[in-house]
Structure 1
Amino acid sequence: MHLTTVLGNLLIILLIRLESCLHTPMYFFLSHLALTDISFSSVTVPKMLMDMQTKYRSILYEECISQMYFFIFFTDLGSFLITSMAYDRYVAICHPLHYTVIMREELCVFLVAVSWILSCASSLSHTLLLTRLSFCAANTIPHIFCDLAALLKLSCSDIFLNELVRFTVGVVVITLPFMCILVSYGYVGATILRVPSTKGIHKAFTCGSHLSVVSLYYGSIFGQYLFPTASSSIDKDVIVAVMYTVVTPMLNPFIYSFRNRDMKEALEKLFSRATVFFW
């Protein structure tokens, strides 16, 4: 599954880079999302696979903090990029005549830059607050990676400030983007219903595919971090973590791209060139 994630998203980046017809705002955001999915999965999965293979389940404190930093960073970055893509679809469907004016290159670069800056600030705030804590003697993390919630449970210090920042930042970088996505697709759905055509139905199916990934991604995060169950279940946390760290990045290339006509045509052109080159 990890190899599928890496190869699938690398193929997306390659296609968008090679095909001039894919040099549009939607695919610009998609290329950044593909890079984020590769990085997001690579932060945790290789270490997890190595531990399963060697049976040596240990990680240094510095490595643990670094893993947590990049995990939060790419989680937040993916949230912001998905929101940018939802806004792009909103403009394309609800304001098609003004699309090229609104979604100009400067705005796209600005949205991606802000996404990176906010994600960095978010992960840095959690990391700095975590380094001020002291930990108990038995440092056994009941998780498959260095998750922030699991690390806070090991601390012997007062974690009230950490939990407060964790919830506040979670609302800003997860809940607010999710609400923006719902509003955007609400307007998109209303616009499509007013245009009963084959093209409108096709757009509806495309948005439905996007919403399925959004539901899987945000549903897993909300279930584990913002609305945890009363009884702490390690198995539940691990299963949910696998869903959004392994399954979702693997599905994104298929749902966001390979069901897209432009991506299929670009893929066929690439295979044709490769066949001619090798023969």
Structure 2
Amino acid sequence: MKNSVTVHAPAKINLALRVGSPRPDGFHPLNTVFCALDLHDEILLDEAQELELEMVGCDLAVDDSNLGLRAARALQDYTGTSFGSRITIDKKIPVAGGMAGGSANAAGVLVGLNELWELGLGAEQLHEIGAQLGSDVPFSLLGGLAIGTSRGEDLVTLRPGFFQSWVLILDGEGLSTPAVFGEYDRLNPEEHEPASVDELVTALQGGSVSDVAGLLLNDLAEPAFQLRPDVREVFDSVAGRGIAAVLSGSGPTIALLCESDKVADVVAGQLRNEGRTVLRADGPAAGAHVVRSS
């Protein structure tokens, strides 16, 4: 067994999120395009007798509702091991911001404990465990750029045609993903399949970032705006600052795509001067991965 492992686990945004009516199991079928960003949580896993969890930079619960702790227990169950670890998660990804911060933590814990405990599990096995924990966990493991179908866990990797520079406008009040999906169902009661993302996929594999303008679509945006009209107001006020804007996941984070990293730096500075809370991030980035091991 290793003594200590450090993992970086990335945030994601959905460049497109097309939603269908609920399946019999309650999940919504999706056609989505994921992009991992170089905004990440850092997860430190130290050798210990029992499983312990500390959250830094946020006030999230450290009980069995925490996805990081659930991932550790799922890995124990899958492998039959009784090893422990002291897990410290340093949060940089906004909580309840539609950027899969919880899923990133689960993915990071799976990757980190696989290394710490020297289990030797492969990517397919980690994907299998991750898919049971949450729909976004498999992509948090994979990273890069990918199409997600079913409930988002069936993934096909895409070759990115260009680098993406993003300005992320944060909101201090999170949005509940179940509440947003519930509002989506209220607004769209008829049975339907998720719309295609083929046009966006073609543009993303081309040579120009400007080709995706007008193709970033999120079916959860209107439900989120219905629940939080103030988010709609912010979205409308900033949408013209980049070449495209999209609500990230179930919100409330707003993502502005800019034509270059330099332009994104300028836009981010302008929005900060206007009193907005913003982050800069670029993508596609690697999935959850070990950065130190000893």
The two structures have a TM-score, normalised by structure 2, of: 0.26
Higher-strand-fraction structure:
2
Higher-helix-fraction structure:
1
